[in-house]
Amino acid sequence: MKYYIGIDLGGTNVRTLLVDETGKSYSEVKDATERDNGPDYVCSKIIRQIESLDCSVCGGLENVQGIGIGVPGPVDTEHGVMIMATNLPGFENYPICEKLSSRFNLPVFIDNDANVAGLAEALLGAGKGKPTCYYVTISTGIGGAFIVNGQLVSGGRGHAGEIGNIIVKNNGYKFGGLNPGAVEGEASGTAITRKGKEILGEDKVAHAGDVFRLADEGDIKAQGIVDECISELATMFANIAHTVDPHCFIIGGGVMKSKRYFYDKLVEQFNSKIHVGMRGYIPLLETELEDCGAIGAAMLPMSKLK
């Protein structure tokens, strides 16, 4: 059995795990990130976390195979640094992998949090055994990850899976740095909530789930919002399918809590928007793992070193 260390480095918390190759966790340390103290401070904190892990199951830290880090934002995987770090000030180009690698004399890999979550699902969750998986998370935003033969396709600039910026509507809503009509601006949890507040009223809609519930209760305007979002998500899934024809999609994120209100229609519309020869062959699976950021990060060295 081989053992790996996974680090889920978020803007709020940082969590470090010792796991084996099946994803089983043996030891965990979690702390507030305290990002405002800067990258050197956070890096020291991670080093202490790693040193605090109980590695007796593998006879000590020296028998661990490697370290993986998941971070919020695009990553230059070749050089082991973040490209943009909105939620971790100072981490742009900060040599986090080099620092941990020289401290522990272990190989260290980094990728973004959606990618490592997708990797965990592909290797240990819904995608287990599939040659290729496209992971999609529909939540506040929309993100994804493409996994081929157990390896992440991170992209030349770490932007593979930035599917929230896929254009699904001409001259659509312009949100932040995204394209007008990008699917994240049209059909994310945030977008559904925004449309709900605009069309149904601020008092009726606190979150996307309210829009789905009202549609289910027969509100025609809410049904219009839901139908439009389903159509736009189906366009996004179809565009991805024509680009890489994955063996499955794996769908996670908060919007899946309302799955019963939209999933069947989404599957139907997705299949109507792909080539005849693909119809019925690409399952839209639900994620199986919970809170898999640190486990997915631990899968990075496993996938790279095999």
Q: Can you give the binding site for a second copy, defined by CB under 8 A? A: 74, 83-84, 131-132, 144, 146, 148, 153-170, 177, 179, 235, 238-248, 273-278, 281-282
Instruction: Give the residue with the Cβ less far from a second copy, 8 or 184.
Output: 184
Our CB check for a second copy shows the closer of 59 and 131 to be 131
Q: Least separation, in Å, of the C-beta of 9 and a second copy?
A: 19
Tell me which residue of 16, 77, 5, 73 sits closest to 42, measured CA to CA: 16
HSE-CB at 298 with a 13 A cutoff on CA atoms is 27
Contact 50, 67 (CB under 8 A): yes
CB of 130 to a second copy, least distance (A): 8
Give the separation between CA 227 and CA 230, rounded to whole angstroms.
5
Nearest residue (CB) to a second copy, 17 versus 234: 234
Q: Are 234 and 263 in contact (CB under 8 A)?
A: no
Q: Shortest distance, CB of residue 245 to a second copy, whole angstroms? A: 2
Q: Which of 288, 256, 252, 285 is nearest to 23 (CA)?
A: 288
- Shortest gap between Cβ of 194 and a second copy (angstroms)? 20
- CB nearer a second copy, residue 23 or residue 158: 158
Q: Shortest distance, CB of residue 111 to a second copy, whole angstroms?
A: 12
What's the chain's length in residues?
306
We find the least distance from the C-beta atom of residue 255 to a second copy, in angstroms, to be 19
Between CA 216 and CA 210 the distance in angstroms is 10
Instruction: Give the residue with the Cβ less far from a second copy, 41 or 281.
Output: 281
Residue for token pair 């990075």: 300
Which strand (E) or helix (H) includes residue 40?
Answer: helix 39-52
The residues pairing with 76 across neighbouring beta strands, listed in sequence order, are 81
Cβ nearer to a second copy, comparing 18 with 75: 75
CA atoms within 13 A on the CB side of 273: 20
